Amino acid sequence: MVRETSASQGNFQEKASMAPMMQSKESTMKAMRFHEFGGPEVLCYEDVPKPVPEFGQALVRVKAASINRIDIWAEKGIYYKPSLPHIPGSDAAGVVEEVNAGDESFIGGKVIVYPTLACFHCRLCIEGSHNLCTNRKTLGAHVNGSYSEYITVPIKNLMRMPEALKFEEAAALPLTFTTAYHMLVDRAKLQPHETVLVLGAGSGVGSAAIQIASLLGANVIATSSTEEKLRKAQRIGADVAVNYAEEGWVDEVMAATNNKGVDVVIDHIGAATFAKSIKCLAKNGRLVTCGVTSGNEATIDIRELFSSQRSILGSVQGTMKDFIAVAKLAADGKIKPLLDSVYPLRDARKAQERLLSRQSFGKIVLVP
């Protein structure tokens, strides 16, 4: 049941009072917002103050937003603790309505948003590592996000939307594809002749990683939890699909590699798989980790690392360059955002419940 409440004075109101006189005609908008930490039940469909673009920002009318696991963490107050009330949502595609001191040719244009809010002037940003920016924030986790009719974002974070994509597809692209690309290309430095094991094919990151790894020419082994999802994994590029809900899945992976192991593992599942992922690695193999869906603590046998010269690599989001690369691949039709389902914004609770039920494959999208 969706609760409707009237607009309250929130962060947006404070922002509006400081911002230049660019107030749009309507001063409120609909958004899915939470006032306390918890599960999907804390989301309320509300009238909230419409944001006003600050210097260097654009006002984007959100045409589609997609759901990520990070929304769940921010909502629970785990790993991220935004100030309340808060609007989640890291991924957005929409139309630019206003810009405050920036490239006005964006106005009226379709855009996708790079969700990593970097300062663009610290040493790491200048080196191109926007994902490691000293002042990094993430749209929807630290500041109000895309579960709303409008967002304000830095103009530097906008990219023109590939013509080939619908808004729903474009919104499914930014966070997970950029993260998967960064893991495979920048961190693992995956080579065409190598074998990669992608865990959790049903996830946003997993379904993106399968496509990108396959495109790079690697041999892809994917795991998932149901036979139906395994078939879908094969349809998007997995050469071998293994059910990791069953005991003995590590043996299956080893058998698929003639007991050599895989060169790269893409692990975002965390506690439930981490130790086993290491066992799946070949000599000189690299495990790249970006997530802890099943928990953030694992016990490993350190000897399994050094005796076969295996490496563990952390990975966080992606650089602007990765984001551009991903958008180009999508524009060229080489990768395709996979839509599991599309919900009206006001049904965001149901949409998140679907994500938590582990039934989805690919991305769940919200349309205001």
Binding site residues, ligand NAP, CB under 6 A: 68-70, 175-176, 179, 200-205, 224-225, 229, 268-269, 272, 290-294, 316-317, 355, 358, 360
Q: How far is the CB of 55 from ligand NAP (least distance, A)?
A: 28
**Closer of 87 and 364 to ligand NAP (Cβ):** 364
Q: How far is the CB of 142 from ligand NAP (least distance, A)?
A: 13
Query: Which of Zn ion, ligand NAP, none is residue 133 near (CB under 5 to 8 Å by kind)?
Result: Zn ion
Using CA atoms in the order 281, 287, 293, 294, what is the torsion angle rounded to 10 degrees? 40
Query: Which of Zn ion, ligand NAP, none is residue 261 near (CB under 5 to 8 Å by kind)?
Result: none
β pairing state of 150-154 and 28-34? unpaired
Query: Which of Zn ion, ligand NAP, none is residue 292 near (CB under 5 to 8 Å by kind)?
Result: ligand NAP
Q: How many CB atoms lie within 10 A of CB 239?
A: 17
Q: Which of these ranges, 53-61, 132-140, 151-159, 285-293, lies near Zn ion under the rule CB under 5 A? A: 132-140
**Closer of 90 and 223 to Zn ion (Cβ):** 90
Residue entry with tokens 């490496």: 311
Rounded Cα distance, 234 and 213, in Å: 13
CB-nearest residue to ligand NAP: 291
- Measured between its terminal Cα atoms, the distance across the chain in Å is 17
Task: Please list the residues that pair with 265 across neighbouring strands.
Answer: 197, 287
Phi, psi of 89 (to 5 degrees): 115, 110
Q: How far is the CB of 296 from ligand NAP (least distance, A)?
A: 9
**CB 108 within 8 Å of CB 162:** no
Decide if residue 119 touches Zn ion (CB under 5 A). Answer: yes
Could you give the string, one character per residue 43-82, with x where binding to Zn ion holds by CB under 5 A and - elsewhere? ----------------------------------------
Residue 272 identity (one-letter amino acid): A
Among 84, 122, 271, 313, binds Zn ion (CB under 5 A): 122
Decide if residue 316 touches Zn ion (CB under 5 A). Answer: no
Decide if residue 298 touches Zn ion (CB under 5 A). Answer: no
Residue 206 identity (one-letter amino acid): G
Query: Which of Zn ion, ligand NAP, none is residue 153 near (CB under 5 to 8 Å by kind)?
Result: none
Decide if residue 117 touches Zn ion (CB under 5 A). Answer: no
Query: Which of Zn ion, ligand NAP, none is residue 352 near (CB under 5 to 8 Å by kind)?
Result: none
Q: Is 291 helix (H, G, I), strand (E, B) or coil?
A: coil
Q: How far is the CB of 113 from Zn ion (least distance, A)?
A: 17
Cα torsion 247, 249, 252, 254: sign = negative
Residues 6 or more apart whose Cβ sits within 8 Å of residue 265: 196, 197, 199, 277, 278, 280, 281, 285, 286, 287, 288
**Closer of 92 and 205 to ligand NAP (Cβ):** 205
Tokens of 330: 């999508």
**Closer of 83 and 135 to Zn ion (Cβ):** 135
Q: How far is the CB of 225 from ligand NAP (least distance, A)?
A: 3
Q: Is 153 helix (H, G, I), strand (E, B) or coil?
A: strand
Query: Which of Zn ion, ligand NAP, none is residue 203 near (CB under 5 to 8 Å by kind)?
Result: ligand NAP
**Closer of 161 and 288 to ligand NAP (Cβ):** 288
The DSSP result for 256-276, as a single string, is: HTTTS-EEEEEE-S-TTTHHH
Rounded Cα distance, 24 and 211, in Å: 41
**Closer of 219 and 315 to ligand NAP (Cβ):** 315
Residue 160 identity (one-letter amino acid): R
Question: Mapped to the 3 state alphabet, what secondary structure does 179-196 carry?
Answer: HHHHHHHHHCCCCCCCEE
Query: Which of Zn ion, ligand NAP, none is residue 122 near (CB under 5 to 8 Å by kind)?
Result: Zn ion
**Closer of 157 and 207 to Zn ion (Cβ):** 157
Q: How many residues belong to the chain?
A: 368
In Å, how far are 72, 143, 157, 363 from 38, measured between CA atoms? 9, 18, 30, 22
Query: Which of ligand NAP, Zn ion, none is residue 201 near (CB under 5 to 8 Å by kind)?
Result: ligand NAP
Interacting residues with Zn ion (CB under 5 A):
118-119, 122, 125, 133
